Amino acid sequence: MPFIYHRTVHFQDTDAAGVVYFASVLSICHEAYEASLSASGIDLRHFFRNSEVAIPIVHASADFFAPMFCGDLLDVRLLAKQLSEDKFDVNTEIFAAGVSERCLAKAVTRHLCIQPSKRTRQPLPPEVVQWLQGMG
């Protein structure tokens, strides 16, 4: 079941042409990811400061289908899928609020679980596996 994050485009998200800057789309997607983790009960402060587990993004891509402007209301739909014991993808689609037939942008981020001090792969923590199961 997708997680839906509601977001207004802010002036700071736009470029000199007045449309959402390409890197801002990935930032909006990451906001939705964080909101999804929090909604599932994960403590974000601990999650992002944990010295035993880090889950960096190792790949990101985005496709753009229509411009987004300051003040636009967005529905950001997020689905996550576990790929292996230490890796998952987050697939995000951005729509104009209430207009589900017109996708404005899509993005994918791939996340890999590591032990930060050794920089070695390790299994995803149970709370992340549980979050992923809820996203399926």
Per-residue model confidence as pLDDT tens digits over 79-110:
999 999 999 999 999 999 988 888 999 999 99
Q: What is the pLDDT of residue 98?
A: 86
The percentage of the chain sitting over the pLDDT mark of 70, rounded to a whole number, equals 99
How many C-beta atoms lie closer than 10 Å to residue 41's C-beta? Answer: 10
Q: How far is CA 98 from the centre of its chain?
A: 20
Name the residue among 64, 65, 55 with its Cα closest to residue 113.
55
Cα(119)–Cα(98) distance, rounded to whole angstroms? 43
Mean pLDDT over each residue of the chain, to the nearest integer = 96
What are the structure tokens assigned to 111, written together? Answer: 């996340």
Question: Catalytic residue positions?
Answer: 15
Q: What is the pLDDT of residue 52?
A: 94
* Terminal-residue alpha carbon distance, the chain: 6
Q: What's the whole-number mean pLDDT along residues 116-127?
A: 96
The top-level CATH class assigned to 3-135 is alpha beta
Q: Which residue has the higher pLDDT, 100 or 136?
A: 100
How many C-beta atoms lie closer than 10 Å to residue 56's C-beta? Answer: 11
Using the predicted structure, report yes or no on whether residue 63 has a pLDDT greater than 80.
Answer: yes
Using the predicted structure, report yes or no on whether residue 136 has a pLDDT greater than 80.
Answer: no
Model pTM above 0.85:
yes
